């Protein structure tokens, strides 16, 4: 007994508080997986493991950084109405320094939330969730979805420095007809200094109107930081994807207390030469235009400190088996100096059951 206590003390010294927190999260997820596993093994709601594995290179101003990364996502349905889902990122970064290359690594949870399908029009979300401001953070930030490697210059506007909230969301489809639909999200976040679940005390919401015949979505976002210097952020977005034409246009404008900006992104795939799965149809040319405007030089939002304009020209290639090759060239103009940015990468998206179930 005494030896066991001694071993326990040694273990506690070895595991610092941060590791203990991570271990407790992992144990909690494992317990939930075990609890829901037996029931769901025969159904179509087996827990899934998805995500992306990528190797990315970025060369701004002639210096190349290499970045292998994994973004796993796990979704665990429990019963008919509950689900727990989480996404994490594990990356290693190799960047040039005076003595050759130095490397750093990062491991962190992007979000860990519980979803409860309360009514046909309302879902309750609790935990650490991705802030639904604009469209990029919630929809396009996964490495296996984004057409470009890096996010827009204005991505920090409205994300309150962390991009996640710890609290709750009310969300769902408010109304849906054959002519239009309207969906909404309203959220509140508490202040959290936890390393994995860092967030600011804040609240906000987003509403989107979708016109299915025109394939047009327009929406507006708002959030407000409720701690320190309280600031408001406003955003609007418009997405257009004409039916059966392989063309997509996405755009966002965001306004903060100290800066504002916009981005417009287009991508296109042709099916004119043997369909989307022909070698020509797998090419995907991209273009993104971005501009940011400073209102003052108070650093609070991650937007460049001087007015910046940037054009991104990309060419992706969609290989079979959920693999994509990304490449882009960007030219950035600002008063602190113009810059060329070259980026390449390969991304594999995986999607499979978390374990082998029965039946089906």
Partner 1 sequence: MKAKHFFPGLLMVAAIGAASLSAPMGHTQAAPPAAAQPHVDQYKSAKKAPMDDEGTRVFAQNCSRCHRTPDGFSPRISGTIVRHMRVRANLSAHDEQVLMKYFNQ
Subset of 333-352 contacting partner 1 (CB under 8 A): 333, 349, 351-352
On the 0-12 / 13-18 / 19+ scale of CB atoms within 10 A, 343 is buried
Q: What are phi and psi of 25, to 5 degrees?
A: -65, -45
**Nearer residue to partner 1 within complex by CB, 75 or 298:** 75
Which of 21, 191, 215, 224 contacts partner 1 by CB under 8 A? 215
Q: SS3 of 138, please?
A: helix
Q: What percent of the residues of the chain are helix, what percent strand, and what percent coil, each to the nearest 5?
A: 15, 55, 30
Is residue 271 part of the contact set for partner 1 (CB under 8 A)?
yes
- Interface with partner 1 in residues 284-303 (CB under 8 A): 287, 289, 291
The distance of closest approach from Cβ of residue 95 to partner 1 in the complex, given in angstroms and rounded to an integer, is 28
Stretch that binds partner 1, among 58-66, 160-168, 222-230, 316-324 (CB under 8 A): 316-324
Contact 309, 303 (CB under 8 A): no
For residue 292, what are the contacts with CB-CB under 8 A and spacing of at least 6?
153, 154, 259, 260, 261, 303, 304, 307, 308, 309
Is residue 179 part of the contact set for partner 1 (CB under 8 A)?
no
Residue window 143-162: x/- pattern of binding to partner 1, with contact defined by CB under 8 A: -xx-----------------
- Interface with partner 1 in residues 127-146 (CB under 8 A): 138-140, 144-145
Is residue 246 part of the contact set for partner 1 (CB under 8 A)?
yes
Is residue 252 part of the contact set for partner 1 (CB under 8 A)?
no
Is residue 268 part of the contact set for partner 1 (CB under 8 A)?
yes
Strand partners, 40: none
Which of 170, 226, 238, 276 contacts partner 1 by CB under 8 A? 276
Q: Write down the H helix ranges in the chain.
A: 2-14, 17-40
Determine the Cα–Cα distance for residues 58 and 62; give it in Å rounded to an integer. 9
Residue window 9-48: x/- pattern of binding to partner 1, with contact defined by CB under 8 A: ----------------------------------xxxxxx
**Strands 247-255 and 283-294, sheet pairing:** unpaired
**Strands 192-193 and 181-190, sheet pairing:** unpaired
- Interface with partner 1 in residues 222-241 (CB under 8 A): 239, 241
Which of 69, 112, 115, 327 contacts partner 1 by CB under 8 A? 115
DSSP state at residue 29 = H
Residue window 71-110: x/- pattern of binding to partner 1, with contact defined by CB under 8 A: ----x-x-----x-x-------------------------
Q: Which two tokens stand for residue 256?
A: 């903060």
Q: 38: number of CA atoms within 13 Å, CB side?
A: 4
Stretch that binds partner 1, among 3-11, 16-24, 168-176, 230-238 (CB under 8 A): 168-176
- Alpha-carbon distance values, 209 to 104, 206, 216, 238 (Å): 42, 10, 8, 10
Which of 238, 311, 341, 346 contacts partner 1 by CB under 8 A? 311
Is residue 306 part of the contact set for partner 1 (CB under 8 A)?
no
């Amino acid at each position: 007994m005494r030896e066991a206590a001694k071993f326990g003390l040694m273990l506690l010294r070895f595991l610092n508080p941060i590791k203990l927190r991570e271990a407790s999260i992992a144990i909690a997820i494992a317990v939930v997986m075990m609890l829901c596993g037996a029931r769901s093994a025969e159904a179509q709601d087996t827990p899934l493991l998805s995500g992306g594995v990528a190797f990315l290179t970025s060369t701004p101003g002639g210096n190349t950084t290499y970045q292998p990364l994994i973004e796993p996502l796990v979704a665990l349905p429990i019963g008919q109405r509950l689900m727990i889902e989480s996404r994490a990122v594990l990356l290693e970064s190799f960047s040039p320094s005076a003595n050759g290359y130095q490397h750093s690594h990062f491991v962190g949870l992007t979000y860990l939330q519980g979803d409860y399908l309360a009514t046909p029009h309302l879902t309750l979300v609790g935990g650490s969730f991705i802030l639904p401001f604009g469209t990029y953070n919630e929809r396009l930030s996964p490495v296996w979805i984004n057409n470009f490697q890096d996010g827009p210059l204005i991505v920090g506007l409205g994300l309150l420095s962390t991009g996640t909230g710890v609290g709750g969301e009310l969300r769902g489809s408010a109304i849906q007809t054959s002519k239009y639909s309207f969906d909404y999200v309203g959220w509140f976040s508490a202040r959290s200094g936890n390393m994995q679940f860092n967030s600011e005390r804040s609240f906000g919401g987003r509403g989107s109107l979708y016109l299915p015949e025109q394939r047009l979505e327009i929406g507006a976002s708002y959030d407000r930081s409720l701690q320190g210097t309280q600031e408001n952020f406003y955003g609007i977005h418009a997405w257009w994807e004409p039916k059966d034409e392989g063309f997509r246009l996405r755009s966002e404008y965001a306004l903060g207390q100290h800066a504002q900006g916009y981005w417009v992104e287009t991508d296109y795939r042709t099916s004119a030469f043997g369909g989307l799965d022909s070698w020509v149809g797998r090419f995907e040319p991209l273009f993104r235009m971005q501009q940011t405007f400073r209102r003052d030089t108070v650093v609070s939002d991650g937007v460049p400190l001087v007015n910046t304009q940037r054009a991104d020209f990309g060419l992706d290639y969609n290989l079979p088996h959920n693999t994509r090759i990304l490449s882009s060239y960007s030219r950035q103009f600002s008063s602190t100096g113009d810059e060329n940015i070259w980026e390449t990468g390969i991304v594999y998206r995986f999607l499979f059951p978390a374990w082998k179930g029965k039946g089906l």
